[in-house]
Chain A
Amino acid sequence: MSAFDDQSQLRGAHLQERIGNTALWTLSLITVLPILGIVIFIIYKGIPGISWEFLTSMPSNGMREGGILPAIIGTFLLTLGCFLFAVPLGIAAGIYMADYAADTPMTRAIRIAIISLAGVPSVVYGLFGLGLFVIFFQMGVSILAAAMTLAIMTLPVVISTTEESLRTVPNAFRVVSISLGATRWQTIRRIIMKEGMPGILTGVILGLERAAVETAPILFTGAAFYLPTLPTSPLDPTMALPYHIYVISTQVPGMPLTIQYATVLVMLTFVLIMNIVATIIRSRARAKRQW
């Protein structure tokens, strides 16, 4: 007699399955609800403050009126600078770790260091940037110093996602390519990189996204409380969205709430757009994947 003949046992199994499914569904809903709640709340509160003028004009009257143009531009510049420093270096290091570095205790130590670096609190990066770039290299509180600090913080993410996405490319491709007379570098450039690129891009974007909205690393290295003009050189300090939010939420008495919510909404949109781009790249690559 098999288990299936025993009707009561079968009913028990069905019931368990139903309870399990419901429990998992509920738990996933619970994780999504707070995020949805926050987003909807911010959109609801922030929309009235959003206008063309808000996005394109300088703050006025002690930031209680006017727009947030310098903060938007500042965040854009910082993210761009971070990209320029972190991405070439990080991808190169990732390629080395995935395809060249032999499996030695040294390589393993480096890998552990990279992973640990990703867990270092951002304020520590901020102080590191203050010590190294602002003071030691005498860059002063500047876009350059802040972008480099953000880059140092983003590097571990770029390195490890590059390494991981290159490792997921089937080894057979490497063997076949080499067997057809390709060199190692040709194999990496023509096949491994091409197949790993969507994964790398996704990682890069997610890393940049974190850098774009971090406050602590730029706090001592490049962010300004208020500037009457836009920055004109990489050695100028700049306003930036995350720090601006901190300032208008805690440092300015009599700040209209609409401006606070609208600023947060702008930053969230920034993050959301980057997220959507990353998702599109990933899903398009998955649809095209030939293995």
Chain B
Amino acid sequence: MSAAKEIEKEFISRIEKHQGIIHKICFVYAKNESDRKDLYQEIILQLWKSYPGFKGNSSFSTWMYRVALNTAITQNKKPKLLLLKTEVSPEIDDRVSKMEASEDIKVLYQAISHLNKIEKAIILLWLDEKSYDEIAETIGISVKNVSVKLVRIKTKLAQLIQKLQ
């Protein structure tokens, strides 16, 4: 087997093992099923393109989070001029009711959907038990700032959940 094939095989098995990260990011950032599929594809493609740059300085999951979040965050909506009527996403409530997740996750999803893209990234990393150092490294802010932002986001999230219940 050639070296390129070997690398591809190694990459695929790593993605298969850590695919939960992609599911979580798509769950938080995609607005509907079609968006979700597009985001899956885009994240995996960007991970593959960035894979030669992965030197193992951080864990694979941390690197994966960084690339996947960067992809999800910079995934732009189309300008209104270019948006077709059929592409308008359905209401959040409708999507949530069709979800197969538990009730707590549905409420959490609805609350998170009210956060901005950066807040979503921070809360996602916190929910996944990442340390403040890892969150700071992924976002590109100081550890002190992570703690300040997290307090603010958690308060906002708690208020949103309370309203939704």
> Is B one of A's binding partners?
no
